[in-house]
Structure 1
Amino acid sequence: MLPQDIIASLARQLYDARKTRTQLRHFSKQFPEMTIEDGYAIQREWVKLEIADGRTIKGRKIGLTSRAMQQASQITEPDYAPLMDDMFFEAGGDIPFNRFIAPRVEVELAFILDKPLKGPGVTLFDVLSASGYVVPAIEIIDSRIEQFDRETRVMRKVFDTISDFAANAGIVLGGSPVRPMDVDLRRVGALLHKNGVIEETGLAAAVLNHPATGVAWLANKIAPYDEQLNAGDVVLSGSFTRPTAAAAGDTFHVDYGSLGCVSFRFI
């Protein structure tokens, strides 16, 4: 593990980068000995800084669960991060583009928990039982740490992504909530339109064969830290499309078929 003073310093750099909308160089380049545990330690220190500002945690996100996302990021394992209260935006409205550095959009399903989930041993069926409903969601990801190094163009490592809140920056919930046993969640599909043009399509089965599998993975992953998923948490189960780049003025509309639509515009 990196020394605690370095972990705290890197967390402060990310906290400042989010506020000033400036990008940092890869931590993994500066500290080649960095590990996944270091990444999560930095993430936890950053959360402490946000909470000190009055922010609260409203849930969690799981990233890099689909083959499409793993290929896009050149990373082969899932990651996770908290959803802070100031990351939630209303569907059908305008989102200030200047809240972000280099935003991209992903298509997901969100599980809203009625009961807590604490690992180890949480299964897909436990997730379905604990979830009050599932709702369409768009995640806005961002890069406080450069995706590609500005000089070498080398892709950032999983340690960098984990440190950087797993690239989490925003979430938009919408469409029609559904009880998790009322539909085959694997078959939920989505069409992502950007400025009226279809950019991405996908099925939720791309997320570990079933989106609830990702939620079970998360509950078990955080258990060794004596953490759990709580009733009322919003859990993003992972994207089943590749990320789509966004610019000021872009309008996004995602059609989830029988589960409705989610739309917003960057201004």
Structure 2
Amino acid sequence: MLNAEQIAQLADELAEADRTHGVIPRITARYPDATVEDSYAIQGVWRDRMIASGRTLVGRKIGLTSKAMQQATGISEPDYGVMFDDTVFRSGDTIPTAHFSNVRIEVELAFVLKAQLAGPDCTLEDALAAIDYAVPALEVLNSHIELEGRTIVDTISDNAAYGAMVLGDVHRTPEEIDLRWVPGILSRNGEIEETGVAAGVLGHPATGVAWLANTFARHGARLEAGEIILAGSFTRPMWVKAGDEVRADFGPMGVIECRFV
């Protein structure tokens, strides 16, 4: 495992990469024995420094929620990162690609909590009861660590590759819609690139919310009312660049449109 000095140094490197929109060498190339626990420690130091600099935490992102991605990374459970207030966009916004590195987007649902949610025995039913509403979302992936050869340790250290989210305008409670069957049709410049359905996220997109509450309980923490939980993608990542027009059709939950500049 990494020592405190190494963890702090890597968190500093990631903070500088975030500031300059740069990319650093793989952590696992320099520290092949680094563990998942090390990666969350790095992320935690980076998070605390971001909060100390004035950024406000508004929620959490969950990643690696599909079987295909878990198999590809060799990890058997999801990962998570943090989301700050200055990373939230709305449908119709323009998004500056220069603010991110290795820019890709994914189709997801986000949940806003109306109540605290704590493990260690949180169930899907508990998560649904704590959710105020679901809203369609796009996640902007932002990788500050070189992509080739990187592992789950690199990804988690890099705030689980979270860059930003784009939220839609339609809100639905879990009672109003069967969230498993929310569709996603992702288009770039008028051409459909990816399709999926929300059940691809752990069988139900709110399952990850329960998983996260139980994971936090192991560290004496909980999810709080008002937090936004980005629940994981049900499409593959799609690369985007400046000039791209993106449209995601969520059927009964409306459409998200944005432009990358």
TM-score over 0.5 for the pair? yes
Deviates more, 1:218-227 or 1:37-46: 218-227
What is the match of residue 245 of structure 1?
239
Question: For 2:123 and 2:193, how far apart are their aligned partners in 1?
Answer: 33
Deviates more, 1:198-207 or 1:217-226: 217-226
Question: For 1:35 and 1:74, how far apart are their aligned partners in 2?
Answer: 13
2:200 is the counterpart of 1:198: no
What is the match of residue 134 of structure 1?
134
2:170 is the counterpart of 1:176: yes
User: CA shift at 1:221, angstroms?
Assistant: 0.8
What is the match of residue 255 of structure 1?
249
What is the match of residue 215 of structure 1?
209
Q: Is the 8 A contact 1:69 1:240 kept in 2?
A: no
Question: For 2:44 and 2:14, how far apart are their aligned partners in 1?
Answer: 12
Question: For 1:226 and 1:127, how far apart are their aligned partners in 2?
Answer: 18
Question: For 1:12 and 1:64, how far apart are their aligned partners in 2?
Answer: 25
2:259 to 237, 259, 265: 265
2:11 is the counterpart of 1:11: yes
Whichever residue aligns with residue 89 of structure 1, its letter is: F
Question: For 2:215 and 2:175, how far apart are their aligned partners in 1?
Answer: 24
Question: For 2:246 and 2:169, how far apart are their aligned partners in 1?
Answer: 14
Question: For 1:253 and 1:68, how far apart are their aligned partners in 2?
Answer: 24
What is the match of residue 33 of structure 2?
33
Note the alpha carbon deviations across 1:215-238, whole angstroms, 9 max, x for none: 101111111111111000000110
Q: Is the 8 A contact 1:115 1:131 kept in 2?
A: yes
Question: For 1:145 and 1:236, how far apart are their aligned partners in 2?
Answer: 22
> Which 5+ residue runs of structure 1 have no aligned equivalent?
149-154
Pair 1:217–1:67, CA change in 2 (3 A): same
Question: For 1:47 and 1:227, how far apart are their aligned partners in 2?
Answer: 15
Question: For 2:74 and 2:246, how far apart are their aligned partners in 1?
Answer: 25
- Count of matched residue pairs: 261
Whichever residue aligns with residue 167 of structure 1, its letter is: A
Q: Is the 8 A contact 1:36 1:158 kept in 2?
A: yes
Note the alpha carbon deviations across 1:169-197, whole angstroms, 9 max, x for none: 00011141001121111111110011110
Question: For 2:33 and 2:222, how far apart are their aligned partners in 1?
Answer: 29
SS at match of 1:13: helix
Whichever residue aligns with residue 197 of structure 1, its letter is: E
2:119 is the counterpart of 1:119: yes
1:164 to 148, 158, 162: 158
SS at match of 1:11: helix
Q: Normalized against structure 2, the TM-score is what?
A: 0.97
Residues 72-151 of structure 1 aligned to structure 2 (within 5 Å):
75-148=75-148
Question: For 1:70 and 1:245, how far apart are their aligned partners in 2?
Answer: 20
Whichever residue aligns with residue 256 of structure 2, its letter is: V
Q: Which runs of 4 or more aligned residues in structure 1 lie more than 2 Å from their structure 2 counterparts after TM superposition? A: 67-77
SS at match of 1:237: strand
Note the alpha carbon deviations across 1:27-61, whole angstroms, 9 max, x for none: 01111110100000000000111011100110000
2:179 is the counterpart of 1:185: yes
User: CA shift at 1:68, angstroms?
Assistant: 4.3
User: CA shift at 1:4, angstroms?
Assistant: 0.4
Whichever residue aligns with residue 232 of structure 1, its letter is: G
Deviates more, 1:175-184 or 1:233-242: 175-184
Q: Is the 8 A contact 1:69 1:241 kept in 2?
A: no
User: CA shift at 1:93, angstroms?
Assistant: 1.5
Q: CA RMSD in A?
A: 1.2
SS at match of 1:225: coil
Note the alpha carbon deviations across 1:209-259, whole angstroms, 9 max, x for none: 001111101111111111111000000110000000010010110000010
SS at match of 1:83: strand
